[in-house]
Amino acid sequence: MLEQNISTVNNDVKTLVKDAQALFTAATALTGEKADELRGRGMRALDSALAKAHEAQISALAASKEAAKQADAYVKENPWRSIAAAASIGLLVGVIIGRK
């Protein structure tokens, strides 16, 4: 779910930035009121992209905090399983490194 949201926001931000770039490119060829309008639209698109990126950052931070809380609760409820899992991973990494 989180990965899908991040991917969607990432695509939205890329699209908004590309649109803003196109507007700024078009504005360079124009002068006067039309150029000002295009620059304004470009700035609004960039502001929107920044806002979406900030929302994604907040969402990812909240999800990571929740995952950390769940991991902490699991370790507190199952300390020996956690120790066994950590030792197994350490042993596996040691064997892999030892082969090289």
Residue-range domain boundaries for the chain: 2-99
CA–CA dist 37, 30 (Å, integer): 10
**The two structure tokens encoding residue 98:** 């030892």
Report the 10 Å Cβ neighbour count for 31.
9
CA–CA dist 64, 49 (Å, integer): 22
The reported pLDDT for the residue numbered 70 is 92
CA–CA dist 8, 55 (Å, integer): 12
In degrees rounded to 5, what are phi and psi of residue 67? -65, -40
pLDDT digits (tens, 9 = 90+) for 46-96: 788 778 888 888 888 888 899 999 989 988 998 898 899 999 999 999 999
Query: End-to-end alpha-carbon separation of the chain, Å?
Result: 38
